[in-house]
Amino acid sequence: MSFYEFTAPCHFGMEAVLKREIINLGYEITRVEDGRVSFRGEASAIARANVFLRTAERILLCIGRFKAYSFEELFEQTKALPWEEYLPSDARFWVKKASTAKSKLFSSSDIQSIIKKAIVERLKQTYRVSWFKEEGAIYPLRVFIYKDEVTIALDTSGESLHKRGYRKLSSKAPVSETLAAAILLLSPWNKDRILVDPFCGSGTFPIEAAMIGANIAPGMNREFTAEAWKNILPMKDWYEAVTEANDLIEDQIDMDIQGYDIDGEIIKNARQNAIDAGVDHLIHLQQRPVNALRHPKKYGFVITNPPYGERLEEKAALPELYTEIGEAFRRLDSWSYFVLTSYDQAEKYIGRKADKNRKIYNGMIKTYLYEFMGPRPPKRKKQEV
């Protein structure tokens, strides 16, 4: 039985959430770094990790790790790796991305070119050919160099895993699906608690929450690059992963998940996204401004990504908007609030210092996750038998 090492990149600061997800899938963690979690598994882990993991950006199959301080060392050590075990003679392969930090090798384009040449030289000797047609399945590579340690990996996912397949219609500056799922899993929210997003935009937070509550795997309705890698894992592994995911779905459950937005057209888009995700029956979406936010029940959660004010004319409106957010929060005084924003005056106008503040990057925008924790609900009394 062959075991492989995989690396799953994630949003910086969300490594613990992804680590827990991987352990729950039954895999052994090998290392945790800033923005990446590595683990061991059989070839079938390629399919299961891509289908089930909510907070990973992609699943990378590690081919090798080594130190390299010169381009000559990079070439020789790359060439020494057993590429024939991963790349068939007709494989189409290239280094899609090379990133480097705190290392002697810093030219991404040179790193990409040298690694490609080294692999070609290795495969020429193995397959005894002088030219590769590269007409078969695609095998994109990703390279990370940090403090002179090189990690070379095959990208099994293709498009980033945040592309679940349901969000064809987006609002301006949406939160990604993987980040939304990570924030939900980071919070104490669960399917038995009320959840409201008063700035729901494309509906990402409510949709991801409904998928978590109904146990709908995020990768069930999309394709992955590694589906074509018959030399590494058979198609039956993909069928088995999807069958396993289907068997775990519990979508006939009662949840109180609501999403509001002041823009009616955006709400229409969010409804269509919810339909495409198969969770429209589990969430309520409505056009409503934040100053109308009220709820009769206690101990709920607001998890939201309000406007940042990226343009100057929008920034001028932020004090009033965040004051309204604070007033809405005070009306729901037993609730907890998780607010993702790049607005550095958020606490001032909300009128309360956050219990916790995490720095998170939403795309290239530096944001903060402000956590305002409410009281815990009283424990339910056990019924007498």
Give, to the nearest 10 degrees, the angle between helix 235-248 and helix 44-52.
40
pLDDT of residue 385: 46
Whether 239 contacts 300, CB under 8 Å: no
Q: Are strands 138-146 and 4-9 parallel, antiparallel or unpaired?
A: unpaired
Determine how many CB atoms are found less than 10 A away from the CB of residue 250: 10
Indicate if the pLDDT at residue 249 is higher than 70: yes
Which residues are CB-contacts of 154 (< 8 A; sequence separation ≥ 6)? 60, 61, 63, 86, 139, 140, 141, 142, 226
Contact 6, 61 (CB under 8 A): yes
pLDDT by residue (tens digit) across 303-352?
A: 999 988 666 557 889 999 999 999 999 999 999 999 999 999 999 999 99
Residue 76's pLDDT is: 98
Task: Supply the pLDDT for residue 1.
Answer: 61
pLDDT reading at 260 higher than 60: yes
Span 77-86, mean pLDDT? 97
* Residue 137 pLDDT greater than 90, yes or no: yes
What token pair was written down for 141?
Answer: 């590579």
| Separation in Å, CA 131 to CA 43, 139, 221, 231, 340 | 29, 17, 37, 21, 52
pLDDT at residue 80 tops 80: yes
The two structure tokens encoding residue 108: 């991404």
pLDDT at 384: 52
DSSP string, 135-198: -S-EEEEEEEEETTEEEEEEESSSS-TT--S---S--SSPPPHHHHHHHHHHSS--TTS-EEET
Q: What's the CA gap between 56 and 182, in Å, rounded?
A: 9
Q: For 26-56, how does the pLDDT look when each residue is reduced to its tens digit (9 = 90+)?
A: 999 999 999 999 999 999 999 999 999 999 9
| pLDDT-based confidence at residue 190 (cuts at 50, 70, 90) | very high
Category of 174 on φ-ψ map: left (φ > 0), alpha (ψ -120 to 50) or beta: beta
pLDDT band at 364 (very low <50, low <70, confident <90, very high): confident
Helices (H), the chain: 15-25, 44-52, 71-79, 108-127, 177-186, 204-213, 235-248, 264-277, 312-315, 318-331, 346-350
Give the helix, strand, coil percentages of the chain, each rounded to 5.
35, 25, 45
Q: Are 10 and 18 in contact (CB under 8 A)?
A: yes
Q: What is the pLDDT of residue 379?
A: 82
Strands 301-304 and 336-341: parallel
Tell me the sheet residues that pair with 286.
260
pLDDT of residue 169: 67
Residue 275 pLDDT more than 60? yes
